[in-house]
Amino acid sequence: MKKKIIFVTILDILMIVFLFLTYGPISYFRNLLITTAMTTKSHKYLARTLYSEKTISKVMSENYIEEINENTDSSAIEFLKIKETDKYESKYEEEILKKEENNDLYKVVKLKGSSYVGYMVVVYDPSRLNLVSTRYLGKQGEFLQNMSKYHNSLVSVNAGGFADAGGVGSGGIPTGTVISDGKILYSGAPTGWGGGLIGFNKDNVLVLTKDSPSVAIKNGMMDAVEFGPFLIVNGKRAVTKGNGGWGIASRTVIAQRKDGIVLLLVIDGRQPGYSIGIDLVEMTDLLVKYKAYNASNLDGGASSSLVINGKIINKPCAVSATGERWIPNSWMLK
């Protein structure tokens, strides 16, 4: 009887705490829950179960990202020769510029914050990066690990989004436009995530542009996906209101520094006790510390994955044996 009373008491306390956090005077938790749920592909019901559409609309209108209305200035990327030294201006610069022994192509940096665990791959030669799509484009996506092994890549991260009605999409139908080798490979429905085309031009510069695909290709775009939002353009960070409107989740981000070095960040999420995730405000703060000059959000959530030498490195949160999800394309270092 005593155990039963204790059990019921604990349940009552948990319920009180839950109600306080979701409906109490502290807006942080309510905003976090709503913005996190409403920017997923298949978990919007979590917000709609607890809150009215009026409350959801109000919260979303108070938490958002206002992107910089510019295209990337390619001439600002200088491709400087990396100089290693015993003295670096910050630990962030040391993590970027001090190469691993016997590896001039890339370096893996472990990332850890108050709510997240993740990885950053520092790519020293962006000319080795390519956009690779599923072999079954338009029908079926592939696990990143399988794509990586098939194409014999050194490093792979997920790239663009895909049609995912009801959360059961096969990963084979990309959202937005996909450009490969300077040609439009696929034209999908609009992403609805802001941003625009994210890709590399013939000079190996990461270009973020809201131009049409035809204009982007005319201006030299070679490989690109369409996603967003853009977080940093020409060294200017997006303006964020509240938590940025995207809540906390797994993230994949691509960025380039002014010296030409490319950064691929993958943050794990949705795993209490290990890593809940990161919001886009904190992500942008992190990118600024690493001197990102242009940076954009890529598809996140259960799609966020990192494979190195054919092995999954992070802990994706999809419901599969490896935690991976079928995806339409990947940025690969070969």
Backbone angles phi, psi at 309, to 5 degrees: 50, 45
13-63 per-position pLDDT tens digit: 444 444 444 555 567 778 877 788 888 777 788 778 878 898 888 888 889
Q: Which residues constitute the domain of residue 145?
A: 67-333
> How far apart (Å, rounded) are the C-alpha atoms in residues 64 and 246?
7
* 18 and 39 assigned to the same domain: yes
* 101 and 8 assigned to the same domain: no
DSSP-derived secondary structure for 145-202: HHHHHHHT-SEEEE---B--GGG---S-SBSSEEEETTEEEEE-S--SSS-EEEEEET
Identify the band that residue 91 occupies on the pLDDT scale cut at 50, 70 and 90: very high
pTM of the model: 0.91
* 106 and 248 assigned to the same domain: yes
The mean of the pLDDT values for the chain is: 90
The number of distinct structural domains making up the chain is 2
* 176 and 305 assigned to the same domain: yes
* 176 and 71 assigned to the same domain: yes
pLDDT computed for residue 241 by the predictor: 87
* 151 and 169 assigned to the same domain: yes
* 287 and 198 assigned to the same domain: yes
Identify the band that residue 168 occupies on the pLDDT scale cut at 50, 70 and 90: low
* 124 and 198 assigned to the same domain: yes
290-327 per-position pLDDT tens digit: 999 999 999 999 999 999 999 999 999 998 889 999 99
pLDDT computed for residue 186 by the predictor: 97
pLDDT computed for residue 20 by the predictor: 41
Considering 62, 77, 108, which residue would you say is the last residue of a domain? 62
* 53 and 133 assigned to the same domain: no
107-160 per-position pLDDT tens digit: 999 999 999 999 999 999 999 999 999 999 999 999 999 999 999 999 999 999
pLDDT computed for residue 15 by the predictor: 44
Average pLDDT over residues 156-170: 84
Two tokens, residue 57: 């609309």
Whether 173 contacts 328, CB under 8 Å: yes
* 107 and 58 assigned to the same domain: no
> How far apart (Å, rounded) are the C-alpha atoms in residues 217 and 235?
23
* 92 and 132 assigned to the same domain: yes
> How far apart (Å, rounded) are the C-alpha atoms in residues 206 and 222?
10
Cα first-last separation, the chain: 65
* 206 and 156 assigned to the same domain: yes
Name which residue leads in pLDDT, 278 or 245. 278
